[in-house]
Structure 1
Amino acid sequence: MSADPADRPLLTVRGVHRRFGSGPTAVHALRDVSFDLAAGTMVALIGRSGSGKTTLLNVIGGLDRPDSGTVLVDGADVTALDEDGLSRLRREKVSYVFQTFGLIPVLSAAENVGAPLRLARLPAAERERRVELLLELVGLADHAQQRPGELSGGQQQRVAIARALAASPRLLIADEPTGQLDAETGLSVMALLRGVVESEGVTALVSTHDPTMLALADRVIQINDGRLDEREAS
């Protein structure tokens, strides 16, 4: 009998290797990385600059392909998908939040959040309800009509998080989401992500360099020179 989908990990990474270059100058960014993430958890990924964090996130989200190994997101084999399949994965199952907010400057906060729903051809009334709900969730209901340039860095990152949640992804990948924010604002954004995991039922994998934010995570995974620290990953 096959396992109940409700019991399986939301994310499964097995034996992932990623190398850049060849010969003696090759950089082994990921070395036999394996771990599982349970659904509905917030997991912090830590490691110094160049340790392999961003490469791992890119492989999991289908932005890069491993040289070997497999990645399963909600039962979908990311490493076996073609470009159309990867595009569908990022529309339906995986969303990103980056250190650089990536908002469209000429659009309002509400329009930025609604952009993925417009691409998904969601009916206008349903789209507006979802956008309103998300802006309320991230504490920006009163800033719906403001453009990114009229918002603070922390507010822009909150809009980016709301946009990432628009299509109700199963997995939210955040790559140093507080990297451009001061400590207090960064902590509030991490607390928001913690709340999002609980209210939206999403699984969040968040890379961070700030140890003060680790207490908000259900679990901490450390990566050093492309290898996971097994004591942290267990």
Structure 2
Amino acid sequence: MVLVEDLRRSFGSGPQAVHALRGVSFSAARGELTALKGRSGSGKTTLLNLVGGLDTPTGGRVELEGTDLASLDEDGRLALRRDRIGFVFQSFGLIPVLTAAENVGVPMRLRKLPAKQREERAHALLALVGLAGHAGQRPGELSGGQQQRVAIARALANEPALIIADEPTGQLDSETGRSVMELLRAVVRSEGVTALVATHDPALMELADRVVELRDGRTTEQAAE
């Protein structure tokens, strides 16, 4: 489903160039949660940006559902991000003035889905993440864990093939973070999507199907326990 081959990304040129990725290769199957671990500066966010079509590599390739991202122009990458990829951020990324249901509906609004269809799916997704009774609340009225659940529901809005999550539990306490990761794993399996999750928390890696470690821009892969 996701194929990364000899992926490289450098910033700058000459002796001052920074080589963030130095030949990263791995694959992730449908319905699988892959954890990316590594110290700060190891290249996790750079890798997620490349897989998500937010950046272009210096070398190597990324395929999503058989499509080489390098073959897409900017409009093609935009459509890919809108229709096939859901993003979950450490800071939740919710719009404060919108309700939980309205936040979940934003990606569907970008696809110009009818209002009734948006509303029905938003409520169904909030029920999926355990927030059926919170559809009318705004982010400021929700706990951090609840906000991240809304963010996961929003990531699923357009039935993506891939969910990309960059330190999704970084602003949560350990117990809440684990419950969010357990939810994400359950959603991945029930919805049949692939998830790439950057995290540095060993407890959360236990919930992954596989772990890919980044060190100095290179990867080593290990089976999750």
TM range (shorter): over 0.9
Structure 1 runs of 4+ aligned residues shifted over 3 Å read: 230-233
Flag structure 1 segments of 5+ consecutive residues without an equivalent: 1-9
What does residue 213 of structure 1 align with? 204
Task: From 140, 145, 149, give the equivalent of 1:149.
Answer: 140
Q: How many residues align?
A: 224
Q: What TM-score do the two structures reach when normalised by structure 2?
A: 0.96
Give the drift of 1:169.
0.3
In 2, the alpha carbon distance for the partners of 1:68 and 1:205 equals 21
Q: Which amino acid aligns with 1:68?
A: G
In 2, the alpha carbon distance for the partners of 1:168 and 1:107 equals 21
Contact 1:62 / 1:79 at 8 angstroms: preserved in 2?
A: no
Task: From 10, 15, 18, give the equivalent of 1:24.
Answer: 15
Cα RMSD after superposing both structures: 1.2
In 1, the alpha carbon distance for the partners of 2:221 and 2:196 equals 17
Contact 1:197 / 1:203 at 8 angstroms: preserved in 2?
A: yes
Q: Does 1:169 align with 2:160?
A: yes
Q: Does 1:38 align with 2:29?
A: yes
Give the drift of 1:163.
0.4
Task: From 76, 86, 89, give the equivalent of 1:85.
Answer: 76
Task: From 61, 64, 78, give the equivalent of 1:73.
Answer: 64
Q: Deviation string for 1:161-206 (max 9, x for gaps)?
A: 1101000000000000000111011001100101101111110110
Flag structure 2 segments of 5+ consecutive residues without an equivalent: none
User: SS at 1:96's partner residue?
Assistant: strand
Give the drift of 1:224.
0.4
Q: Does 1:225 align with 2:216?
A: yes
Q: Deviation string for 1:5-52 (max 9, x for gaps)?
A: xxxxx0011111101122222211001111111111011110000000
Q: Deviation string for 1:76-106 (max 9, x for gaps)?
A: 2112211100110011111111111111110
Q: Which amino acid aligns with 1:200?
A: E
* Identical-pair percentage: 67
Q: What TM-score do the two structures reach when normalised by structure 1?
A: 0.93
Q: Which amino acid aligns with 2:182?
A: A
Q: Does 1:126 align with 2:111?
A: no
In 2, the alpha carbon distance for the partners of 1:79 and 1:207 equals 23
Give the drift of 1:230.
4.6
Moved more, 207-216 or 121-130: 121-130
Task: From 170, 177, 200, give the equivalent of 1:186.
Answer: 177
